Amino acid sequence: MPALLRRAAAAPVWARVCGGALLLLAVLVAAKGPHDAAQTTVNGIVTGTYFALGAVGLALVFGVLRLVNFAHGDMLTFAAYMALLFSMTLGLPIVAAMVVGTLATAALAVVSELVLWRPMRTRRAGGFQLLLITIGLAFVIRNGIQLFAGSIPRTLDVDVTTAFNLVGHVRIGRTQSIAVVVGLIALLLVAVLLRATRIGKEMRALADNLSLAEVSGIDTQRVILVTWGVAGALAGLAGVVSAAAIGVMTPNFGWLLLLSLFAAAVVGGLKSAYGALVGGLLLGLVEEWSTMFVDSRWKFAVGFSVLILTLLVRPTGLLGRPEVT
Amino acid sequence: MIPLAFSFQSFAHADFWIGVGIVAGIYSIFTLGLQVNVGFTGILNFGQAGFMAIGAYSMALLILKAHWSPWAALPVATLIAMASGLLVGIPALRLPPHYLAMATIGAAQIVQITAQNATGFTGGNEGLIGFDAEWQRIQTWLLGKLSAVGLGQQYELPLFLVTWLSFLVLLVVLRALQHTPWGRVLRAIREDEDAAAALGKNVYAYKLQSLMAAAALGAVAGYLLALNVTLIYPQSFSADFTFIGFAILVLGGLASYVGVALGAILLWFVLEGMRFVDLPLAADKIAALRLLLVGLVLIAVMVFRPQGILGKREEMVIRG
Amino acid sequence: MAERPPVAELGPGADAILRVRDLAKRFGGLRAVDGASLDVERGSITALIGPNGAGKTTLFNLVTGFLAPDRGAVAYDDESIYRKPPYRVAARGMMRTFQMTKALAAMTVLENMLLGAPDQPGERLLGLARHPLGWRRRERDVQSRALELLERFRLSTHAHAYAATLSGGQRKLLELARLLMAEPRLVLLDEPLAGVHRVLGGELLAHIHDLRAERGMTFLFIEHDMEVVMENADRVIVMAQGQVIAAGAPAEVRRNRAVIDAYLGTEAEDAA
């Protein structure tokens, strides 16, 4: 037995995390029965998908700029409401409207870089200033949306009723299954971008060591701009996917998700996009699994608790590497 | 008839502005706590609303459930808030600034969610009432005294006076503390904690003290808020409250306690003054417009004049 | 890992104020300090040299508690300070300066000095409450001592100016003067002359010699300028690639094959 544990401890972090999750699932099946465990796992994958989309965007911006973007959650809301706007006022079919919403959010991120972040960097603004600006931006976006669209819950024109059985009585909504597929494809594309393309390698280089990247001839301004675009697109996709999957949206919904997104990104090691991906999926699973034990209104508290626990125990995240001083 | 209508009008206005003054005063005391943390120690406490909630709920629960006198409940509730500051601070203050910001928001959100959902204990979304019996008596007595000078009709004036008197006392205490060696160590920590540690100062302990002080100030703001609304319910203690506090903080200027009052008065007089502008908007949209303004204030100050109105350029040395 | 002969350790008879054994720290794949051992003799002025990236500043950080080592042992005055937090190390009498000078720019020169004083009850909240008059008295004493030191370092005219207004060299002097308020017995200086005007640099070195002569203070300083090292150091310790590779009198070390290789090796890398 000890030999097995030793081999387990020596396995790469990936394997340990996946192994741990599977072990946890096995425990849950034993505790609550296969149906509940399976259903919440399915729900968890849905939630985890848009958590992952949101968290990866956060991690990309933090990695390249060392900026925690408190307005990130509101970018999700922005996308969802843009989709609503285009589908309602311009009569676009909902899928097209969602695409437009995603692109609009990418545009918003790019514009914010050109108009706000780049000039502030030129002026050597400190981290505190930038942080408060993200909070101000969050207020502006969130309340701007409420100013125009009001605070009553809205829905996107998606099919919220059709559901089908996966295995046995475990159900998933049709919209949600599409959301998962789309989300996972997007995440895969991002992973490919980071790994295989030149711009992706440059993004990783900046995240690793900004000053080194600058002196090795990388056009950092361009890379930062692309990072914002990608992060904005991911946030946009997360926003439309979550609005579709959850079914209703209010101007606050992105802000309410923000701490869960932080938790996912921190668990994955704030700088690491891959970590945020895994962190998002894990957190989605954990939040949904928790509904087997506590009332679902405590779900958000679970997210915050995971955040705080991770910050206490292992701030570099389960998958992150320690910061080089 | 007409002179009477005018005097009623002006009364209504005076009452309105006194009410605004109370809110500004509550925010001022709340933001004094943020100033101690951010402006004087350099720690990013985004959970101040949580400490306010803990103070207010503790006070109300001690009075309502444990049947304590408010004179005992207030100091003990303050100690409870300070203890929660210690509880949050011990793990959180070891973290770098952006993690500390997240951890403190997370802690405050947990407090709010608990307040909403532990309905048996906290009354849930309906909240707690009835804790202010003693205050009502004091208020009546004060109004009696004010009648002697013809101000007996300004029902909000007693709370206004108590709020601003509290602020002044706290201001004096904090300024005195700043001019002590203790205050000097805090300022050093704000600028460069490694330098302070290299000189033998236990930086961690000072940060804990700073956070506990802020928690106490948040609690006091919480009591006054509770008395103003006569109801304690979770929505009052949202993260928005903390961020409005930050807007006041940066507007008035970092490292200036007087600036806190200036920022609060300015911001609230503008926000509430908007009520006189006849906007064809529904209530929730007007609320959104006000918070939008707060966001713009935050951005504008940080972009154009980060040291705020009363802050000094040299003081802009927050590590970030 | 090859066993390194103990090059920088003093014999058991020697009076070592600082003893470091097999100290190590890695960052991911990088072994910044890789089993370094050295002794610093009490009352000496010792130089720590080595090519860039040798691990000198990391060693300082590890020894003074600003960075947690992975393994090893550190003893100051025969008491272990391994992994003790920096404020405790400083309070015991081992203090340091930083490569990027940490004169507190937003405070006045005098306030910087007052900060350095130990035993000021007014720095603690309980102290303020329990000694309301005592701390004021202590403040006055501390202030006169601070002004004396500033006088000695020729900074007294700047006493009430913000430290931001001082030149780089003056800030290094301030950093040194400030920590002298605590009367440390071992001072670690990280590149004290970097970016400093020759004249001020000369003053700084003169102060170091005077302090050693008057008070028997020990100094360990990181330096790149070999002339400065030759003229001022009693003993030189050489690091390269995270390890201590040589130690001895300046003239010996200069001729040491391993040291020359280490420096040349870096030059060859730079040229490649």
For the ranges A234-238, C4-8, C36-40, which has the lowest average pLDDT?
C4-8
Distance from CA of C26 to the nearest CA of A (A): 9
Q: What is the 3-state secondary structure (H, E, C) of A90-143?
A: CCCCHHHHHHHHHHHHHHHHHHHHHHHHHHHHHCCCCHHHHHHHHHHHHHHHHH
Nearest to B105 among A140, A251, A259 (CB): A259
Please give the Cα distance from C213 to C233 (Å, whole number).
14
Partners of B204 on chain C (C-beta within 8 Å) are 85
Contacts of B195 in chain C (CB under 8 A): 98, 102, 104
In chain A, the percentage of residues whose pLDDT exceeds 70 is 94
- pLDDT tens sequence across B3-57: 433 344 444 578 888 999 999 999 999 999 999 999 999 999 999 999 999 999 9
Of B200, B201, B314, the CB nearest to C106: B314
Q: Do residues B146 and B158 touch, judged by C-beta distance below 8 A?
A: yes
**B222 compared with A318, residue with greater pLDDT:** B222
pLDDT per residue over C114-169, tens digit each?
Answer: 999 988 888 988 888 888 888 999 999 999 999 999 999 999 999 999 998 998 88
Within 8 A of B319 by CB-CB distance, chain A residues are 126-128
pLDDT at C1 over 80: no
Which residues of chain C make contact with A207, given a CB cutoff of 8 A?
none
- Cβ of A316 under 8 Å from any chain B Cβ? no
Task: Taking each helix axis as running N to C, give the angle between helix B48-64 and helix B239-252, from 0 to 180 degrees, rounded to the nearest 10.
Answer: 120
At how many degrees (to 10) do helices A299-313 and A273-290 cross? 130
- Count of CB atoms situated within 10 Å of the CB of B94: 15
Does A143 sit within 8 Å of B292, measured CB to CB?
yes
Question: Exposure of B178 by Cβ count < 10 A (0-12 exposed, 13-18 middle, 19+ buried)?
Answer: middle
Q: Do C102 and B187 touch (CB under 8 A)?
A: no
Tokens of B243: 């961020």
Chain B CB contacts of C114 under 8 Å are 181, 184
What is the nearest CA distance from A254 to chain C, expressed in angstroms?
Answer: 36
Kindly tell me if the per-residue pLDDT of A325 is higher than 50: no
Residues whose CB falls within 8 Å of the CB of residue B39, separated by 6 or more in sequence, listed in order: B190, B249, B254, B255, B256, B311, B315
**CB-nearest partner of B113 from A129, A147, A301:** A301
Strands C186-190 and C218-222, by their bridges, are parallel
A305 touching B, CB under 8 A?
Answer: yes
Average pLDDT over residues B215-233: 95
Q: Is pLDDT above 90 for C27?
A: no
Contact C90 B197 (CB under 8 A): yes
Do β-strands C71-76 and C79-80 pair in parallel, antiparallel, or remain unpaired?
antiparallel
Q: Does B290 touch chain C (CB under 8 A)?
A: no
- State the smallest CA–CA distance between residue A321 and chain C in angstroms: 7
Chain C residue with Cα closest to B255: C106
Query: A126 — contact with chain C (CB < 8 Å)?
Result: no
The whole-angstrom distance between B117's CA and the closest CA on chain A is 8
Position B121 scores a pLDDT of 80
State yes or no: pLDDT of C75 exceeds 60: yes
> Tokens at residue C97, please?
């300066």
Backbone angles phi, psi at B46, to 5 degrees: -100, 10
Instruction: Tell me which residue in B99, B288, B302 faces A146 most closely, judged by beta carbons.
Output: B288
Distance from CA of C27 to the nearest CA of A (A): 6
Give residue A270's Cα distance to chain centre: 12
The answer to whether the beta carbons of residues A67 and A48 sit under 8 Å apart is no
pTM over 0.80: yes
Please say if the pLDDT value at position A124 is more than 80.
Answer: yes
Give phi and psi for C54, each to the nearest 5.
-75, -20
Give the Cα separation of A151 and A148 in Å (integer): 9
Of C28, C61, C67, the CB nearest to A321: C28
ipTM: 0.89
Rg (CA), chain A: 20
Contacts of B192 in chain C (CB under 8 A): 102, 104
Q: Which of C10, C28, C27 is nearest to C19 (CA)?
A: C10
pLDDT (0 to 100) of residue A306 = 84
pLDDT of residue A225: 95
Going by their DSSP bridges, the two strands C16-27 and C71-76 should be labelled as: antiparallel
Residue A10 clears pLDDT 70, i.e. is over it: no
Residue C179: list chain B partners with CB under 8 A.
Answer: 198-199
3-state secondary structure B28-59: HHHHHHHHHHHHCCCCCCCCHHHHHHHHHHHH
**Contact B200/C178, CB-based, under 8 Å?**
no
With CB atoms and an 8 Å threshold, state whether C123 touches B196: no
Q: Per the structure block, which two tokens stand in for A27?
A: 């425990």
- Please tell me the predicted confidence (pLDDT) of residue B36: 95
- Chain C residue with CA closest to B315: the answer is C106
A324 CB near a chain C CB, below 8 Å? yes
What SS3 state is found at A291? coil
3-state secondary structure chain C: CCCCCCCCCCCCCCCEEEEEEEEEEEECCEEEEEEEEEEEECCCEEEEECCCCCCHHHHHHHHHCCCCCCEEEEEECCEECCCCCHHHHHHCCEEECCCCCCCCCCCEHHHHHHHHCCCCHHHCHHHHHHCCCHHHHHHHHHHHHHHHHHHHCCCHHHCCCEHHHCCHHHHHHHHHHHHHCCCCCEEEEECCCCCCCHHHHHHHHHHHHHHHHHHCCEEEEECCCHHHHHHHCCEEEEEECCEEEEEECHHHHHHCHHHHHHHHHHHHHHHC
Task: Show residues of chain C in contact with B209, CB under 8 Å.
Answer: 125
- In angstroms, the separation between the Cα of residue A310 and the nearest Cα of chain B is 10
Between B97, B106, B246, which is nearest A135 by CB? B246
- pLDDT averaged over chain A? 87
Element of type H or E holding A317: none
Closest Cα of chain B to A264: distance in Å? 12
- Chain-centroid distance of CA B239 in Å reads 12
E runs forming strands in chain A? 163-167, 170-173
Give mean pLDDT, residues A180-184: 91
Distance (Å, whole) CA C102 – CA A210 = 24
The alpha carbon of residue B25 is apart from the nearest alpha carbon of chain C, in Å, by 27
> If pLDDT is split at 50, 70 and 90, which confidence band does A324 have?
very low
**A137 closest CB neighbour out of B97, B98, B299:** B299
Residues A8, A12, A18: CA angle, nearest 5 degrees: 75
Q: Which residues of B touch C133 (CB under 8 A)?
A: none
Query: Residue A70 has which token pair?
Result: 């408190």
Query: Quick count: other Cβ atoms within 10 Å of Cβ C216?
Result: 11
pLDDT beyond 70 at A322: no
Contact A274, A267 (CB under 8 A): no
Across the interface, whether the CB atoms of B199 and C104 are under 8 A apart is answered no
Nearest CA to B159 among B29, B303, B302, B8? B29
Q: What is the pLDDT of residue A39?
A: 87
State whether residue A322 sits within 8 Å of chain C by CB: yes
- pLDDT tens-digit profile of B51-60? 999 999 999 9
**Quick one: what percent of chain C has pLDDT higher than 70?**
95
For residue A301, the chain B residues in CB contact (below 8 A) are 109-110, 113-114, 117
In angstroms, rounded to a whole number, what is the distance separating the alpha carbons of residues B195 and A139? 36
In this complex, the chains that touch C, judged by 3 or more CB pairs closer than 8 A, are: A, B
Partner residue facing C104 (CB), from B182, B192, B200: B192
Q: A-chain residues within 8 Å CB-CB of C59?
A: none
Q: What gap in Å lies between CA C58 and CA C67, rounded to an integer?
A: 8
Q: Is A295 on the interface with B (CB under 8 A)?
A: yes
Of B185, B314, B317, which is closest to C115 when you measure between CB atoms?
Answer: B185
Which residues in chain C have their CB less than 8 angstroms from residue A324's CB? Answer: 27-28, 30
Q: How many CB pairs below 8 A link B and C?
A: 87
Q: Please give the backbone phi and psi of residue A164, each rounded to the nearest 5 degrees, phi first.
A: -140, 165
For residue C57, give the chain A residue with the closest CA. Answer: A325
- Asked if C83 and C23 count as a contact pair (C-beta separation under 8 A), the reply is no
- Going by their DSSP bridges, the two strands C45-49 and C235-240 should be labelled as parallel
CB contact under 8 Å between B199 and C90, yes or no, is yes
Sheet with C186-190, edge to edge strand ranges: C94-96, C186-190, C218-222, C45-49, C235-240, C243-248
Q: With an 8 Å Cβ cutoff, are A127 and B97 in contact?
A: yes
Flag if A298 and B117 touch (Cβ within 8 Å): yes
Structure tokens at A321: 């590497």
CB contacts of C97 in chain B (<8 Å) are 198
Instruction: Please list every residue in chain B whose beta carbon sits closer than 8 Å to the beta carbon of residue C104.
Output: 187-188, 191-192, 195
Interface of C with A in 55-94 (CB under 8 A): 61, 67
pLDDT score recorded for residue A320: 55
Predicted pLDDT at A106: 97
